[in-house]
A and B are shown apart, each in its own frame.
Chain A
């Protein structure tokens, strides 16, 4: 990379230097004194601003043995800005919960600066740390330096993507399972699938410790894992009384009782009465009265499936696949990853190219999907039963050949089949 800094020509970008919000333009302009290639980057960005046009193209570059993690970018304006001819991003798997020591952060800054432009982003929309501005050799050396310093590169392409989780039990009283440990477990167990794209399309996990879903799992991941609990929530009546004294009864009625989606809260004197059988674990009352109320003690998670943004069939929200699993022991965690392998096998055997699992379920139907992954139907998977009456009841048709045993008695009094573990 050249050592001479070209003059900055950033008339429009300069307008992003004023105002109270921190300016990446000011930061990068200052830094360009040390890293001259940044001046080329800013000048190209200025041209994008002037012309409302983008000058980056993609290409494919991988560290040997890896199939993803380097997002290669080449500039259309490389003749004018030779430093941008190859200016790639390296994705780095972030520490679960995005917790850092300053040593770790400095190490990332040093690796980014030594091998490339020295621009870092905390974090990409998939959760990774993004290091920007490496040429081909610099990207590979960066990957090497990351690995020899205990880091690993993140996912891209039709692979398991880098995971993302909330801060969980490290600093939150609401977390119903250890999101960080689970994130590390899934990442490490399936690291092969993260580094080598071999699925029909991408697959994302996001983990949240409670239904507040701070990691935005339900709509941003193919398999949201959202903490929850069974049985009664914990109520500290002394602190309920304290809450009422401080905030007043009206506040309790207006902002807690009437905001409960299933009206399972009522008040008797200064005591909160909870009909736990109707509680849907929405978290609202706990959010408002978090000193007095807590999730129950029998904790675990709900596994959902199929969340993604709009391409191609429109938005899909994750929907319930397994209502409750315990995620406390190593065995619980490995049961989960075994289950995921079964889901992946069915999806990858039957999914079409470029078909996310939510789109796959949309195409084949949840019934077929449940059969494929060997999960029994459960009323908690639906918001209402079907309304279309055209149904192929396997049990009720005539025998298709002589001697075929048709199920009898009919299913109307059959016991429902559901289970509580994977």
Chain B
């Protein structure tokens, strides 16, 4: 192994022009329209009539170097050596020759074992975080819970039968790296951090105090050690301090649960983007397959499939039928915790006399 020179070179982003499929490079900025040929297969047609086919498949996101090489061998054979990934970790094989389409699909489904889908009004691959595989903060897993959930939602990944697309995200702590989705799964903690006073000096205490959104952390001296204390009535169990300092342990294997949130939307289509809202809480964190999460997500998808009108995103459907009916249709209990008490709370109340009675 040569001695690393390790001089910073600040090279910046890779030169993407080298990686574009030849038809992408040729028709850059000159695309006319696209069609979905079947779930998982798109064709983009350029102004000059050139056609670029895309085969979208669900990827596990985490791959061994050998799996990456397998993917490359397939793309070399059928895709002129070009592919891409999407925001939701789908893989997209780019195909210039139509005759390569069927053998490629065969190779992706049979040799690689990755399902085609995630296009149009379907459930796309789940945006997710690192979980127990490699994060320092998780209260649950991510890659595993996503695998288990996608197994259960496979029909709606492979078929375009929903009113509109459904983006799911899964986060393994309250920082929620996977962010908003039509449906989103989050870990929820249920008591204040347990402080390891002996080990507090490894972090910068002012940062631990400053990070607290509830101003619940203040400096203290415990057994002669400079440390912090938590005002428990103020603490909202978010775990922000835990991200700052490992001695503020927020997780609890016995009591941590999961909650499901619905109606996040980032597209501007039809209605303005929206945040996701609490649907159901107190779901057990139950590895290895989290069956209670699958059951709840399936209930939401079933109600949405039955009640949503074409093009309505999940949140738009709920806004139309009203939250009261969302809870009726899903059977999820409406509880006091569904009423917001955050700084945004007043804007979430029904400030009208418009009710379904």
Contacts and interface: CB of A to CB of B under 8 A. Distances in A.
B337 interface: no
B61 A56 contact: no
A45 B16 contact: no
Interface stretch (A12-20, A373-381, A405-413): A12-20
B13 A122 contact: no
Contacts of A226: 268
Nearest to B112: A22
Interface residues of A, number: 128
A15 B1 CA distance: 40
Interface stretch (B205-213, B223-231, B327-335): B205-213
Contacts, number: 362
A170 interface: yes
Interface stretch (A61-69, A332-340, A342-350): A61-69
Nearest to B14: A95
Interface in A134-178: 140-141, 143-144, 147, 150-152, 163-164, 166-167, 169-173, 175, 178
A120 B91 CA distance: 14
Contacts of A291: 32-33
B307 interface: no
19 contacts: A25-B144, A45-B141, A64-B8, A94-B13, A95-B13, A95-B14, A99-B20, A100-B85, A101-B82, A113-B65, A125-B127, A152-B11, A171-B94, A175-B29, A212-B267, A219-B273, A220-B179, A291-B33, A315-B180
Given A93-B13, A213-B267, A173 B114 contact: no
A120 B63 contact: yes
B246 A57 contact: yes
B232 interface: no
B187 to A, nearest CB: 11
Interface stretch (A27-35, A265-273, A396-404): A27-35
A371 to B, nearest CB: 24
A132 B61 CA distance: 12
Contacts of B264: 219
A108 B285 CA distance: 35
Interface stretch (B99-107, B131-139, B190-198, B298-306): B131-139
B336 interface: no
A144 B147 contact: no
Contacts of B150: 21
A96 interface: yes
Nearest to A174: B31
Interface of B: 1, 4-16, 18-21, 24, 28-29, 31-34, 44, 52, 54, 58-69, 71-73, 75-76, 81-87, 89, 91, 94, 112-115, 127, 129, 132-141, 143-144, 147-148, 150-151, 154, 174-180, 206-207, 210-213, 238, 240, 246, 251, 253, 256, 264, 266-271, 273, 275, 285, 287-289, 309-311, 342-344
Contacts of B148: 16, 19
A123 interface: yes
A312 interface: yes
A176 B1 CA distance: 47
Interface string A28-60: 101100110010010001001101111111100
A218 B178 contact: no
Chain B residues touching A, majority SS: loop
A364 interface: no
A63 B7 CA distance: 9
A105 interface: yes
Given A150-B15, A283-B267, A102 B64 contact: no
Task: Identify the 6 closest CB pairs spanning chains A and B, nearest first.
Answer: A65-B8, A19-B151, A312-B213, A188-B12, A31-B64, A48-B132
Contact of A309 (B69, B175, B207): B175
B311 A354 contact: no
Given A12-B287, A309-B180, A24 B143 contact: yes
A192 B269 contact: no
Given A120-B62, A259-B270, 17 more contacts: A15-B288, A38-B64, A52-B287, A55-B132, A93-B13, A99-B24, A105-B72, A105-B83, A121-B63, A122-B89, A125-B177, A150-B14, A171-B31, A188-B13, A214-B86, A219-B264, A219-B273
A122 B288 contact: no
A150 B144 contact: no
Contacts of B10: 152, 191-192, 195
A118 B311 CA distance: 42
Contacts of B139: 54
Contact of B343 (A141, A314, A354): A314
Contacts of A35: 64
A172 to B, nearest CB: 6
A64 B4 CA distance: 10
Interface string A181-211: 0011001100110010000000000000001
Given A28-B64, A52-B256, A195-B8, A102 B75 contact: yes
Contact of A110 (B65, B113, B342): B65
A109 interface: yes
B84 to A, nearest CB: 5
A122 B287 contact: no
B61 to A, nearest CB: 5
A109 B13 contact: no
Nearest to A122: B85
Contacts of A415: none
Given A96-B16, A123-B85, A13 B144 contact: yes
B60 to A, nearest CB: 4
A363 to B, nearest CB: 12
| Residue picked from A89, A166, A317, most chain B C-beta under 10 Å | A317
A311 interface: yes
A96 B273 CA distance: 24
Contact of A141 (B4, B175, B251): B4
A353 interface: yes
Nearest to B157: A21
B16 A173 contact: no
B65 A24 contact: no
A65 B127 CA distance: 32
A253 interface: no
Given A12-B288, A96-B16, A173-B31, A261 B8 contact: no
